[in-house]
């Protein structure tokens, strides 16, 4: 019999720089019984985590002023039992592993809905997540990888093409298209 990890403390910190998503998620989580505090960047997230360490947190990986893992690290330091879920638009194995090392309990790709986030926050320790119902297509995974490398190269097309072992013009055509489904 697994013990439910949900504590009586239903405080939740949402650290997200996308204002419409942040506000929509805050309303949805309040409707599910959480007392929600919000932050829009790393500095605010760290400050809120230190002044009133919440039991739960949802943190975007890439924020305007830095890396959301800095918030996860502070959360884990001020309240080790806090359950933190990291959200990202750029899913890759290295950042997922880093998020878990810093203390996150789960790593969800965007767009994640409130039910997915709630399930991750309340999942029993050691439980295995269900496989996604609508996994990304191979074309979408390839596009996400190209976008991530492009971002890491400071939006330098030539450097990105070199690292991906791809012709520069081919890369430019891919970048000019919309993301595949």
CATH architecture of 11-122: 3-Layer(aba) Sandwich (3.40)
Tell me the pairing of strands 35-39 and 66-67: unpaired
**CATH architecture of structural domain 138-176:** Orthogonal Bundle (1.10)
Q: Taking the domains of the chain in order of start, what are their residue ranges?
A: 11-122, 138-176
Q: What is the pLDDT of residues 82-141, one digit of tens each?
A: 999 998 876 666 777 778 888 888 888 877 788 888 988 888 766 666 666 666 678 877
State both tokens at 163: 């690292």
pLDDT band of 4, cuts 50, 70, 90: very low
pLDDT in tens, 35-70: 999 999 999 999 999 999 999 999 998 888 888 899
Q: What is the pLDDT of residue 107?
A: 84
Tens of pLDDT, residues 125-177: 666 666 666 666 788 778 878 887 888 888 899 999 999 999 999 999 988 88
**CATH topology match: 11-122 vs 138-176:** no
């Amino acid at each position: 019999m697994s013990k439910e990890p949900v504590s009586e403390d239903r405080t939740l910190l949402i650290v997200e720089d996308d204002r419409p998503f942040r506000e929509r998620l805050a309303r949805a989580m309040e409707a599910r019984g959480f007392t929600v505090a919000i932050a829009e960047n790393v500095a605010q997230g760290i400050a809120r985590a230190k002044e009133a360490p919440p039991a739960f947190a949802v943190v975007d990986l890439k924020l305007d002023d830095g890396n959301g893992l800095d918030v996860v690290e502070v959360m884990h330091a001020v309240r080790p039992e806090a359950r933190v879920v990291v959200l990202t638009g750029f899913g890759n194995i290295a950042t997922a592993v880093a998020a878990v090392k810093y203390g996150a309990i789960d790593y969800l790709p965007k767009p994640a809905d409130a039910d997915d986030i709630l399930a991750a926050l309340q999942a029993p320790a050691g439980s295995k997540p269900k496989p996604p119902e609508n996994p990304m297509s191979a074309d979408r995974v390839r596009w996400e990888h190209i976008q991530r490398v492009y971002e890491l190269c400071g939006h330098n097309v030539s450097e990105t093409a070199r690292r991906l072992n791809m012709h520069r013009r081919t890369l430019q055509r891919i970048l000019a298209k919309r993301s595949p489904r």
